[in-house]
Chain A
Amino acid sequence: MAKKRDRIDIIQDMLSAIVDKGGQIKPTHLMYKGNLSHAQMQGYLEELLGKECVNKVPRKGGEYFIITDKGREFLGKIREMREFDRTFGL
């Protein structure tokens, strides 16, 4: 059975999904890629917007979320932390 994702896993998946889409993503795609419910996604997005890891921008065809430099930096730190976890068997 797959391990239940924790808060950091979900944030990593969301930020990775934005990066994989070229740095910007529609909320519906983010919800689908992040494997989240609408309510869950809203909660995490508010946190990421508050931390300035993502920005909300209106575009033709609806609003988009774009990853900021701070968001890329944070995603890098999470990946570094995950490698540390793997190495130390946490």
Chain B
Amino acid sequence: MGLSAHVMDLAYGSDIYFDIVAGIILLLAFVVVWKYYRINKAQTKYKHLLIGFGMLFLSYLFKIISHFKIYYHSEYTHQVGMYTVTHHMVNASNILVYSGLLLHRILLILGFYALYRTYSCKESRKTMLLTVFLLLAIGYLSASAYVVFHLTVLFILLTLTSTYMQRCKADGSTRTKLLAYSFGILALSQIIFFLTVFWIDLYFLGEFIQLAGYFALLLTLLNVISYGKKARPH
């Protein structure tokens, strides 16, 4: 029996389009931060944002990949009396589904944690390493307990939302408020995903709300860029 060809095919699920749009928005966020990092490399917090948005983008890339299946041809030969019979079979492998979703979970948790780290740089390296290890363990083990994954992401997102709401109260910036809303909407989507344990049909609503959260992030970035253009000297 041998592998003769690999054919990749779009399997199922329209949520791939939601993931593609989320991935593009996160890639844009990465590019914007990269642009500012090139201007001011001394600002180490840009590195956390770059790692965060980079991981989140890769997370959606792997989720998109998980929608694909690998099909391969195999041959099976056996003897029937004086005849040799060869069967040609097409087999499907779920390796992209399992590995893609595993990497999606791990990178999503670590990506949001990297964004959170932007505001908690004071924690020691040991604490950071321990946290990363625990988050990796959660990401790995949550394949059989999906609820734990959503609760972990929810907790990190609630912390981010609370941080930005406090900042917004302090400086009154509408852009900071919009950013707080975007993380708040993403947190809400995790609650909806959590509730799919009781009613699976909520999954689509969760995806929709999650996309709305990323659109709010996009709006924040566009707002910052347009403000910069308005403030440009003539």
- The answer to whether A72 touches B43, judged by C-beta atoms less than 8 angstroms apart, is no
- The answer to whether A83 touches B42, judged by C-beta atoms less than 8 angstroms apart, is no
- The answer to whether B42 touches A7, judged by C-beta atoms less than 8 angstroms apart, is yes
Query: Chain A at the B interface: mostly helix, strand, loop or mixed?
Result: helix
Q: For the complex, is A80 an interface residue (Cβ under 8 Å from B)? A: yes
Known A6-B42, A89-B164: A84·B231 in contact at CB below 8 Å: no
Chain B residues, CB < 8 A from A8: 39-40, 42
Q: For the complex, is B227 an interface residue (Cβ under 8 Å from A)? A: yes
Residues 20-62 of chain A, each 1 if its beta carbon lies under 8 Å from chain B, else 0: 0000000000000000000000000000000000000000000
* Identity of the chain A residue whose Cβ is nearest the Cβ of B32 in the assembled complex: A84
A19-B233, A72-B233 known, 7 other contacts, Cβ within 8 Å: A75-B232, A77-B39, A80-B227, A80-B228, A84-B224, A89-B164, A90-B43
From B56-64, B132-140, B168-176, B203-211, the one touching the partner chain is B168-176
* Identity of the chain B residue whose Cβ is nearest the Cβ of A19 in the assembled complex: B233
Q: Which 7 pairs show the lowest CB-CB distances between chains A and B?
A: A80-B228, A76-B232, A87-B175, A79-B231, A81-B36, A19-B233, A90-B45
Q: For the complex, is A86 an interface residue (Cβ under 8 Å from B)? A: yes
- Give the size range of A's interface with the partner: 20 to 34
Q: What distance in Å separates the Cβ of B170 from its nearest Cβ neighbour in chain A? A: 9
Q: For the complex, is B6 an interface residue (Cβ under 8 Å from A)? A: no
Residues of B that sit less than 8 Å from A by CB: 32, 35-36, 39-40, 42-43, 45-46, 49, 118-119, 163-164, 167, 171, 173, 175-176, 179, 220, 224-225, 227-229, 231-234
Known A8-B40, A89-B119: A81·B228 in contact at CB below 8 Å: yes
Chain B residues, CB < 8 A from A90: 43, 45-46, 49, 118
- The answer to whether A79 touches B167, judged by C-beta atoms less than 8 angstroms apart, is no
Q: How far is the CA of A87 from the CA of B220 in the complex (A)?
A: 9
Q: How far is the CA of A7 from the CA of B163 in the complex (A)?
A: 28
